[in-house]
Structures are given as C-alpha cells and as structure tokens.
Amino acid sequence: MDQAYHETVGKLQKAGVDREYVDGWVGGYLHNPKREEQRITEGYTAGYEDGANRNTDHMKDWVKN
C-alpha cells in the first residue's frame, strides 16, 4: 500500500467517520468489486465513489456526532 492510503484511512478513523463510509472508501481506492446489492448502504456508496476518485470530498457528511 502507498503512504497516501495509510494516511487517509488513519485520518478517516481519527475523525470518527462512519464505518460504512470507510469500508466503501477502502474498496473504491483499491478498485475492489462493490459489495453485493443487499449490503450496499448510502455511506458505503459515498465512500466507494470518493475512494475511487482518491479524495475525501464527502467525508464530513459521514462524521458520527
């Protein structure tokens, strides 16, 4: 894994981002196939799209309060 991957995952976890978003981000970043349809959530989808684009644009929307 590259350094950017590790730094971003650490940043997401420290910020308290929802686990579904983080799981999606990791999957998108690594270009893994998406989950099966019944397990896809809104958070997962947002994270997957951001990960595939190598950004965290929607991270703030998924921080747990």
Task: State whether residue 11 is helix, strand or coil.
Answer: helix
In the chain, how many domains are there? 1
Question: Which range marks the domain in which residue 14 is found?
Answer: 3-55
Domain contains 65? no
pTM of structure = 0.93
Domain contains 62? no
Res 43: pLDDT: 96
Res 64: pLDDT: 86
Domain contains 61? no
Among candidates 17, 60, 63, which has minimal Cα distance to 26? 17
Domain contains 63? no
Instruction: Express each pLDDT in 18-37 by its tens digit.
Output: 999 999 999 999 999 999 99
Domain contains 13? yes
